[in-house]
Amino acid sequence: MEVGTAGKILHAGSTHPIDRMTTPTDAPANDRALFVLSVLAQSKAAMTAAELVQATGLSQSTLYRQIATLRRWGFVMESDGRYSPGPVSVQLATGFDGNSDLVMAARADMRALAQQTHESVALVTAVNERVVCLEMIDSEQSLRCSFDRGRSVPARDGASAKCLLAHMPLDQRDALLDGLGESPERRAERAAELDAIREAGHAVTHGEVDAGVWGASAPVLATGRHLRGAITLMAPLTRVEGMEAALLHMTVVTAARISRALQ
């Protein structure tokens, strides 16, 4: 995954595993239950208890306690020893689809951008320290980049992550940069890069996280320049050579159009 921006280059029908996430072992029980639900939500298939233990880092006894709570409330269901999101989770997803003004405002313009460029387009937003894909329009080409809807990646590298970091409030951005635990010199370099991205109004990366992936990302800003998310165009690098400026321009125009719709 071009972290935050784009996705791994995929052939039609290919898949990829979820990222390993961690949560403190001393976190409140409700946080651990939500953490387990988050891991299940990002998995492409039902997971065994052993797979959940590996993905979450929780002990087996702790995991089973969280699953029991989630099953009791209908957030998780079990079949043949494998766990997946339950009916209440589906209801939440349906409610999100119908009520998210950001997704609804963006869909038509995202489709238009995908048709114009013949490449994949994502709508992403920042949630805590991660970049979450809210909506995805996949390229129809067999060789394409993809970022699964509902998937999250660390807010660190890649065009989407950098675009979101650059345009969020400075105190929030600084807290995230501090959390990376990098040297003062590297932190200063990151801050300077984000300042330049904010000034330019877009971020572009190529091969930064995954070789051969190009991504361009522009912010979606509501009233008062409040950051709501970002539009990211992603493509195999070999297919965009010589077209970078045009593709970037179309991405920026699309994000600006969606921003106006949210005013």
Residue 187, Cβ density class (10 Å: 0-12 exposed, 13-18 middle, ≥19 buried): middle
Q: Which residue has the higher pLDDT, 91 or 225?
A: 225
* Residues 84 and 124 both lie in one domain: no
Q: Quickly list DSSP for 183-244.
A: -HHHHHHHHHHHHHHHHHT-EEEESSSSTTEEEEEEEEEEGGGEEEEEEEEEEEHHHHTTTH
Strand partners, 32: none
Residue 29: pLDDT band with limits 50, 70, 90: low
147 and 50 housed in the same domain: no
State whether 158 and 225 are in the same domain: yes
pLDDT over 70 for what percent of the chain?
Answer: 86
Q: Which of 3-12, 77-86, 120-129, 186-195 has the lowest mean pLDDT?
A: 3-12
The pLDDT of residue 90 is above 80: no
Tokens 């298939």 belong to 45
169: tokens are 């409030």
Q: What is the mean pLDDT of residues 36-56?
A: 90
The residue among 94, 115, 149 that closes a domain is 94
Residue 9 in this model has a pLDDT that exceeds 60: no
| Domain carrying residue 40 | 29-94
pLDDT of 137 above 60: yes
- 3 within some domain: no
* Confidence class for position 188, pLDDT limits 50, 70, 90: very high
Q: How confident is the model at residue 165 (pLDDT cuts 50, 70, 90)?
A: very high
Is pLDDT of 243 > 90?
Answer: yes
- Structure tokens given for 114: 């995908």
Please state the rounded mean pLDDT for residues 185-206: 97
62 pLDDT band, cuts 50/70/90, is very high
Whether 103 and 88 share a structural domain: no
Number of domains in the chain: 2
Cα gap 68→40, rounded to integer Å? 14
pLDDT in tens, 151-161: 778 899 999 99
Q: Report d(CA 47, CA 56) in Å as an integer.
A: 12
| CA 57 – CA 21 distance, rounded (Å) | 8
Task: Quickly list H helices, the chain.
Answer: 29-42, 49-56, 60-72, 87-99, 101-117, 159-167, 170-179, 184-200, 237-240, 244-261
Residue 19 lies in a domain: no
Least confident residue range of 91-95, 107-111, 131-135, 196-200: 91-95
166 and 239 fall within a common domain: yes
- Radius of gyration for the chain, computed over Cα atoms and rounded to the nearest angstrom: 19
Rounded CA-CA distance 217/114 in Å is 14
Q: Are residues 159 and 50 in the same domain?
A: no
How does residue 257 score in pLDDT terms, banded at 50, 70 and 90?
Answer: very high
Alpha-carbon span 201 to 252, nearest angstrom = 8
CB 36 within 8 A of CB 241: no
- Selection from 170, 154, 164, 110 nearest residue 135 by Cα: 110
